[in-house]
Amino acid sequence: MIDPLIRAAGLACWSSPVTPEPLGGGLSNRNYLVTHRGERFVVRVAEDAPEHHVMRFNEVAASRAAAAAGLSPEVVHSEPGALVLRFVEGKTLTPADIRLRPMLARIFPLIRRCHRDVPPLLRGPILMFWPFHLVRGYAATLREGDSRFLPEVPRLLSALAELEGAIGPVDIVFGHNDLLAANFIDAGDRLWLVDWEYGGVNSPLFDLANLCSNNEVAVADEDWLLECYTERPLTAEFRRRYRAMKCASLLREAMWAMVSELHSTLDVDYVAYARDFLAWFDRAFAEFKRR
């Protein structure tokens, strides 16, 4: 296997030698900053990850459509295993940033534009991202890999079935599906939304729940965000469906880390990550059951 740094340096888009500089923060791929002929670019080096239902053709298509919609930086080049994006200046957000209501007020239009503006710009085949299907696949992968988390699987699948039943019929949009704080860049006059490897057809509930669960948004601010997004007062029925999807988002994130422990070669403490999200899931599911 070619070293990722060598791979980034040898891409066909460079007309003169470059020296990639590693960027931190990637949980499932390696990122590099490259300066070429006075311009800066970000190079994402990663192969398909079928254990996570990640296929790079899908990421390229989503990234191009998101750039055309004005949500994400320009895609400059792509080839198997590598994606080159134009570098944008700005601050990477933290969960504490996202929890502030003024920041949520800047983020929710971005999510709505993703859902409404990206689909007409997509070209070629696109994956579906259905968290319940993903979690069932993760459970099978954990069994095959004799994961340390295997004793948890039966109860988690039982909870999953209850949550999927509570979701009911859904609208279909194109979602980002990975709204970690690190995927937002604040350029001052605008926000950028990056990292489209999990982009896919989904319910809008997932992005809303994923944003709030990943960043521990307060309940009052969650309700405010949901009303802003839907442009109507919340109902008890909608709130329950949202809470079910929030539980599903937390469970998917926990099991993503469990599977990553078995498959990833990156220096990330996936066990601690999984345990943190599993604890958050257990609390959220207990609350869901009480209501």
Q: Are residues 279 and 205 in the same domain?
A: yes
Whole-angstrom distance, CA of residue 131 vs CA of residue 152: 18
Q: Are 102 and 221 in contact (CB under 8 A)?
A: no
pLDDT at 1: 62
pLDDT at 26: 62
The residue out of 86, 106, 138 marking a domain boundary is 86
pLDDT at 24: 73
The CATH number linked to 129 is 3.90.1200.10
pLDDT at 266: 82
pLDDT at 18: 95
SS3 166: helix
Q: Are residues 177 and 75 in the same domain?
A: no
Q: Are residues 114 and 38 in the same domain?
A: no
pLDDT at 291: 78
pLDDT along the chain (291 residues), means of 10: 87 95 76 96 95 96 98 97 96 97 96 97 97 98 97 98 95 97 96 97 97 96 95 94 98 97 89 96 95 78
pLDDT at 27: 62
Say which residues have a Cβ less than 8 Å from residue 133's Cβ, sequence separation at least 6. none
pLDDT at 257: 96
The residue out of 41, 60, 86 marking a domain boundary is 86
The residue out of 42, 65, 86 marking a domain boundary is 86
Count of domains observed in the chain: 2
Listed in order, strand segments (DSSP E) in 110-267 are 173-175, 184-186, 191-193, 200-202
Q: Are residues 145 and 237 in the same domain?
A: yes
pTM for this predicted structure: 0.94
Q: Are residues 53 and 153 in the same domain?
A: no
